[in-house]
A and B are shown apart, each in its own frame.
Chain A
Amino acid sequence: MASMQSQSQYVLRTVEERGVRFVQLWFTDVLGRHKAFHVTPAELEDALEQGMTFDGSAIDGFSRTSESDVLARPDLTTFQLLPWYEEGAGIARVFCDIVNIDGTPFDGCPRQQLRRVLKGAHEQGYTFYVAPEIEYFYFKDLDPLKTPQPIDTGSYFDLLPDDTASQIRRRTVLILEEMGIGVEHAQHEDAPGQHEIDLRYTDALTMADTVMTVRHVVKDIARQAGVSASFMPKPLAGVQGSGMHTHLSLWRDEKNAFIGDGPYGLSDTAQKFIAGLVHHAPEITAITNQWVNSYKRLIPAGEAPVGAEWARYKADALVRVPSVKPGRIDSTRIEYRAPDPSANPYLAFGVILAAGLRGVNGSYELPAEGQRMAPLPQSLAQAVDLMENSELLHETLGEHQVEWFLRNKRAEWDSYREQVTAFELERYLPLL
């Protein structure tokens, strides 16, 4: 049985046996940025028992200035050696939850926010499984002053001669597998330099941790190979952006609650869940697509969704119902296609589940297939306004995170507005 004591013994002993020299305590701020403390084995026991105190106000999104000290408390079940460093480097990681000094959950901790939403679903008997498809680019470098240069010229599913990008991607997938992260498949995507890694489903908390891990591994392996990886939603004009289509299913009593007699083999629960997603999509978009740049991906005539609608096949549908292979009825699921890979996965999975559950609990009616119920926001500014008035988001994320998020995102929008872009100069300077 998994007691805290035996877990911590396991960790300490493994550190000793495997010659671990640094343990990285990983955590995530409200914007989904990856943060870490590095502790040596000598400090580890204390860190495991008491957590690491830090000044939360020093980290964006973590604290108001008045309540500065918080604790990063390791979740020992996530302890894992990192296998991609040179032999003998001895580096391991463990994810942390952020708690107040008195041990109560800290409102600004996305990981615990997701836990709360999952717990609510669990109390209704539901377990939430997710499987994201993560797209990203390999570039020669990340110099912000130049147009990024993709490192290959391939396209969708191209099998190229064994080029650098394929080698890097293959090494990345092998390392993920070595860490126990199931990769369904990996492929070249539509745009030059664009690649995709599809993950096998897990429960949403494990998957949010996994997304953080995958982003880190992809970037670090690229760095080791002398190139750069980016999860920026739309780094290049004129080609597809990078999305994170996310496959979802709800399970109840160890049965897939989305299987039923409705259209496309969907249950009543699945239809209401889709209705919830379609209905609340505009207001949760600020979370699933949180940057100014995210809205450069959500444009018409691409594959990215621009309106709240569901369909089986339609290329730009927001919610799709993938077909299920014969004999694999348990893989019945729906696909939510708005999120991009630079979202905070904890908050994104949390609000997606909350929106779907609203539909289930409120018995929302499923709109007709292909019927666009509302446009998705076209800019971060619109998205943030929708968020501000969303009772669903206030309830799901809590006042602390909503308030901080709005403040941060309005500031981002304001500094974007101050720019005079190349587009404007090119278009207006000769003319006006």
Chain B
Amino acid sequence: MSIDIVLCVPSCEGPVKKAFEVTGVTPAVSTSGRLNEISALEPGDGFSGAVINASAFPFSDAMSLCRQLRARERSVGPIILLLDHYQLDDLTFRENLFDDFVVGPFDVSELATRLRHRLRRAGNESVAPRIEHGVLSMNLETYQASIDGRVMDLTYMEYELLRFLATNPNRVFTRETLLSRVWGYEYYGGARTVDVHVRRLRAKLGEEHAHLIATVRSVGYKFGTLGEREVD
């Protein structure tokens, strides 16, 4: 399955970045918003969509970029406009330039939902909110994870931990970070709870895939098979 690459102008930070992570699509960031840079970033099978943050650069530039993208021979897919509340009036008579819009302050789940929805509507079924990592596949909409085509029976916290790790592959997280980012509340199991859940996940991944979650000695855990690998 091809990875969905979505054009992102002029930056991909904060909630926008998170929304991309949650959705499982890859941003291609064009800081200049110029067509030649955009063409250089364009993957072989084209962009799946575009997110233009009109609140981060001059509004008229954003509009003219949308117009240029629309006029382009090769479509960039649905265009989602991000803007400030005061810019709403300026959208009048420009409805043809974009497919959807989100008003700041940007909410990660709203952004992710719209992104997903638009990509899906554009006929891009693979956009499903999904994380693919080799033999691991997680459908974020149905909450189902499978390894090698075999569906895994996960508890909620196991699912959340796996999702968090798989969304941030090859990054090392300490137990404390995982506890605060995944569990997010005071839990009297302590940080060893993370170990317990990692162990459970490894058991459910099965022996041949247990290494997908690597122990980084005296630091914590990371997901992925790149670099240092050590299995308890």
Q: Considering the complex, which residues of chain A in the window 1-60 have a beta carbon less than 8 Å from any beta carbon of chain B?
A: 1-2, 6-7, 9-11, 13-14, 17-18
Residues of B within 8 A of A79 (CB): 155-156
Q: Considering the complex, which residues of chain B in the window 155-179 have a beta carbon less than 8 Å from any beta carbon of chain A?
A: 155-160, 175-176
* Of A9, A11, A121, A203, most B-chain CB atoms within 10 Å: A203
The answer for the CA separation of A202 and B183 in the assembled complex, in Å, is 16
- Taking a contact as CB atoms under 8 Å apart, the answer to whether B188 and A180 are in contact is no
Task: Assess whether A112 is interfacial by the CB under 8 Å rule.
Answer: no
- Taking a contact as CB atoms under 8 Å apart, the answer to whether A76 and B190 are in contact is no
- Taking a contact as CB atoms under 8 Å apart, the answer to whether B184 and A180 are in contact is no
- Taking a contact as CB atoms under 8 Å apart, the answer to whether B143 and A10 are in contact is yes
- Taking a contact as CB atoms under 8 Å apart, the answer to whether B191 and A182 are in contact is no
- Taking a contact as CB atoms under 8 Å apart, the answer to whether B190 and A127 are in contact is yes
Residues of A within 8 A of B193 (CB): 202-203, 206
- Taking a contact as CB atoms under 8 Å apart, the answer to whether B203 and A177 are in contact is yes
Task: Assess whether A167 is interfacial by the CB under 8 Å rule.
Answer: no
Task: Assess whether B209 is interfacial by the CB under 8 Å rule.
Answer: no
- Taking a contact as CB atoms under 8 Å apart, the answer to whether B142 and A203 are in contact is no
The chain B residue with its CB closest to the CB of A180 is B200
Our pick among A13, A178, A200 for the contact of B153 (Cβ within 8 Å) is: A178
Residues of A within 8 A of B154 (CB): 180
- Taking a contact as CB atoms under 8 Å apart, the answer to whether A180 and B204 are in contact is yes
- Taking a contact as CB atoms under 8 Å apart, the answer to whether A2 and B144 are in contact is no
Residues of A within 8 A of B159 (CB): 10
Say how far A119's CB is from chain B's closest CB, in angstroms: 6
- Taking a contact as CB atoms under 8 Å apart, the answer to whether A179 and B153 are in contact is yes
The chain A residue with its CB closest to the CB of B181 is A1
The answer for the CA separation of A177 and B200 in the assembled complex, in Å, is 8
The chain A residue with its CB closest to the CB of B194 is A254
- Taking a contact as CB atoms under 8 Å apart, the answer to whether B142 and A180 are in contact is no
Task: Assess whether B192 is interfacial by the CB under 8 Å rule.
Answer: yes
Say how far A49's CB is from chain B's closest CB, in angstroms: 16
Could you tell me the dominant secondary structure of chain B's interface residues? helix
Task: Assess whether A371 is interfacial by the CB under 8 Å rule.
Answer: no
Q: Considering the complex, which residues of chain A in the window 111-129 have a beta carbon less than 8 Å from any beta carbon of chain B?
A: 118-119, 121-122, 127, 129
Residues of A within 8 A of B158 (CB): 180
Task: Assess whether B189 is interfacial by the CB under 8 Å rule.
Answer: yes
- Taking a contact as CB atoms under 8 Å apart, the answer to whether A78 and B155 are in contact is yes
Task: Assess whether B117 is interfacial by the CB under 8 Å rule.
Answer: no
Given contacts A2-B183, A180-B204, A200-B199, contact A254 B192 (CB under 8 A): yes
Interface residues as binary, A124-145 with B (CB distance below 8 Å gives 1, 0 otherwise): 0001010000000000000000
- Taking a contact as CB atoms under 8 Å apart, the answer to whether B156 and A76 are in contact is yes
Task: Assess whether B128 is interfacial by the CB under 8 Å rule.
Answer: no
Residues of A within 8 A of B151 (CB): 18
- Taking a contact as CB atoms under 8 Å apart, the answer to whether B196 and A203 are in contact is yes
Task: Assess whether A404 is interfacial by the CB under 8 Å rule.
Answer: no
The answer for the CA separation of A79 and B191 in the assembled complex, in Å, is 21
- Taking a contact as CB atoms under 8 Å apart, the answer to whether B203 and A182 are in contact is yes
The answer for the CA separation of A1 and B109 in the assembled complex, in Å, is 13
The answer for the CA separation of A177 and B202 in the assembled complex, in Å, is 9
Say how far B110's CB is from chain A's closest CB, in angstroms: 16
Given contacts A1-B185, A76-B156, A79-B155, contact A251 B190 (CB under 8 A): yes
The chain B residue with its CB closest to the CB of A7 is B156
- Taking a contact as CB atoms under 8 Å apart, the answer to whether B196 and A17 are in contact is no
- Taking a contact as CB atoms under 8 Å apart, the answer to whether A254 and B189 are in contact is no
The chain B residue with its CB closest to the CB of A119 is B188
Residues of A within 8 A of B181 (CB): 1
Given contacts A180-B201, A254-B176, 19 further A-B contacts (CB under 8 A): A1-B182, A2-B156, A2-B183, A2-B184, A2-B185, A10-B156, A10-B159, A11-B156, A76-B156, A77-B157, A79-B155, A119-B188, A180-B204, A182-B199, A182-B203, A203-B196, A206-B189, A251-B192, A254-B175
Pairs across A and B, CB under 8 Å, 8 listed: A77-B155, A119-B188, A127-B188, A182-B203, A205-B189, A251-B192, A254-B190, A254-B192
Listed in ascending order, the chain A residues whose CB lies under 8 Å from chain B are 1-2, 6-7, 9-11, 13-14, 17-18, 76-81, 83, 118-119, 121-122, 127, 129, 177-182, 200-203, 205-206, 251, 254
